[in-house]
Amino acid sequence: MKTVHDPIHGGIRVDGFFLDIMDRHEMQRLRGVKQLGMGNFVFPGANHTRFEHCLGTYYLAGRMAKAIGLSDEDSLTVRAAAMMHDICHAPFSHTLEAVMEGATGLDHMELARNLICGRGKIFRDRDADLFAGEGSIADILERNYIDPVDVCDLITYPESTERDLDRLTLEGMDHFPSRDYIHQIIHGPVDADQMDYLMRDAHYTGVVMGNIDVDRLLSTMRVVNDRICIESGGAPAAEGLMVSRALMYSSVYYHQTVKVIERMVTKAVLSSGADISDIYLWDDSDMTQALISAGGPASRLMRLVQNRRFFRKALEVSAGDTDEELSRILMAHKDPGRRSELERSIADRAGLDESEVALVMTSAADLGSAKIKIGKTDVSIADGDGRIRSLTRTSPIARALRSRDPFSWSMLVACPEDRKESVARAATKVLGL
């Protein structure tokens, strides 16, 4: 047994086969992947990593499992899933998630399934001298009587979850898939993943909006009709969680400057010509060096970012001014590669190279906010009679947050400081504003 000293949760006890998993090279890679991607260029303290977050999620998943009375076997399974839930996150975290999906055909959760089970590459070619002949993580799990398939099923986000949450909201139904509550420890309205990242990200960014009353949530947590619910006495803590999430999205996760930097890095990767078929095995430094070595626009963009010479906002469209036609255009170009077509058109009209124009959209523009509004706001509250109600039915705060668009802007175009006027005119024409 080892105790890992964590600034968020204090001492985190890691024992048994979890020590073996924690020390695997697949997990150690996460020490080189910053949790907030490019966020440290805006929030200098945000240098924490996916590795720390995975340990925190593992710790909270164990506390949740105990709070709802899981069996020892189920607790081991869900803690394993929690520790590895981000094992295949791309370099710079969410920055290159869509690029990784395009290169591999899989999201980071399905890639995790393959990596854990030893399907395909589990280490980079350069590391064959270190890891050749080493078994997969699934071997560790099986030696300890844990089914790797069960672990991977918990990591993967289920298609049914949003439908079930929507039914609860719209119809007041109170029955859910059998044993779904185990999955909700990883993916649910009150889950270990989001509780840890909200607290951890708030701590390292210095933003005070991520404080969550975890002890109160856990002490009022129970299972009703196969669903994790919060007793009515814990409703204020659940409201606090929702408020923290909403404000962190507005203030940190969708900070305009961070999104511009992310787009600059994405453009660098797309223009680099690098073979990124095994990008899920790279860390931030691997990607940085690959882009600089590629030369051309990829190198220039990455070096601009490294030296904090970001593109500046030339044009912004507020969420309220985004009409149906603009939404259609943005939806058609939400893929990172397709978005380059719009950037190329704007750059041509403005007399710039395509690499000098960055078009950024919020999730409100590409309709991704539906998952935030439904999947992460409908906390189930159980009253003394065992009846379940959505928190949005009983809490004015929850209702307001559910209807609130967390983003004041839907699109912006950025470019070098000295070309903002020409790019603004060009973007206005190209986008029909």
Helix (H/G/I), strand (E/B), else coil: 6 = strand
Quick check: 137 pLDDT over 80? Answer: yes
pLDDT of residue 364: 53
Q: Are residues 192 and 336 in the same domain?
A: no
In 4-136, which residue ranges form alpha helices assigned H by DSSP? 17-22, 25-28, 50-67, 72-84, 97-104, 108-117, 128-131
Q: Tell whether 394 is covered by a domain.
A: no
Q: Tell whether 96 is covered by a domain.
A: yes
pLDDT of residue 355: 96
Domain, as residue range, for 73? 2-207
Task: Find the mean pLDDT for residues 219-225.
Answer: 93
Domain termination residue (choose one: 180, 207, 234): 207
Instruction: Tokens for 47, please give them.
Output: 């240098």
pLDDT digit string, tens, across residues 2-22: 999 999 999 999 999 999 999
Q: Tell whether 23 is covered by a domain.
A: yes
pLDDT of residue 5: 97
What span, in angstroms and rounded, lies between the C-alpha atoms of 327 and 416?
26
Per cent of the chain over pLDDT 70 is 91
The CATH number of the domain holding residue 33 is 1.10.3210.10
pLDDT of residue 164: 45
List, in order, residues 6 or more apart from 170 with CB less than 8 Å away.
none
Which of 9-13, 193-197, 361-365 has the least mean pLDDT? 361-365
Quick check: 157 pLDDT over 80? Answer: no
pLDDT digit string, tens, across residues 274-316: 999 999 999 999 999 999 999 999 999 999 999 999 999 999 9
Q: Tell whether 219 is covered by a domain.
A: no
Number of domains in the chain: 2
Q: What is the mean pLDDT of the chain?
A: 90
Q: Tell whether 41 is covered by a domain.
A: yes
Q: Are residues 63 and 189 in the same domain?
A: yes
Residue 401 pLDDT grade (very low, low, confident, very high; cuts 50, 70, 90): confident
pLDDT of residue 392: 87
Domain termination residue (choose one: 184, 207, 230): 207
Q: Tell whether 212 is covered by a domain.
A: no
pLDDT digit string, tens, across residues 21-45: 999 999 999 999 999 999 999 999 9
Q: Is 102 exposed, middle or buried (0-12, 13-18, 19+ CB in 10 A)?
A: middle
List, in order, residues 6 or more apart from 66 with CB less than 8 Å away.
75
Task: Find the mean pLDDT for residues 351-366.
Answer: 84
Residue 163 pLDDT grade (very low, low, confident, very high; cuts 50, 70, 90): very low
Q: Are residues 317 and 198 in the same domain?
A: no
pTM of this prediction? Answer: 0.91
Quick check: 171 pLDDT over 60? Answer: no
Which of 117-121, 246-250, 358-362, 364-368 has the least mean pLDDT? 364-368
Q: Are residues 202 and 315 in the same domain?
A: no
The residue among 53 and 243 whose pLDDT is bigger is: 53
Nearest Cα neighbor of 20 from 134, 113, 129, 122 is 134
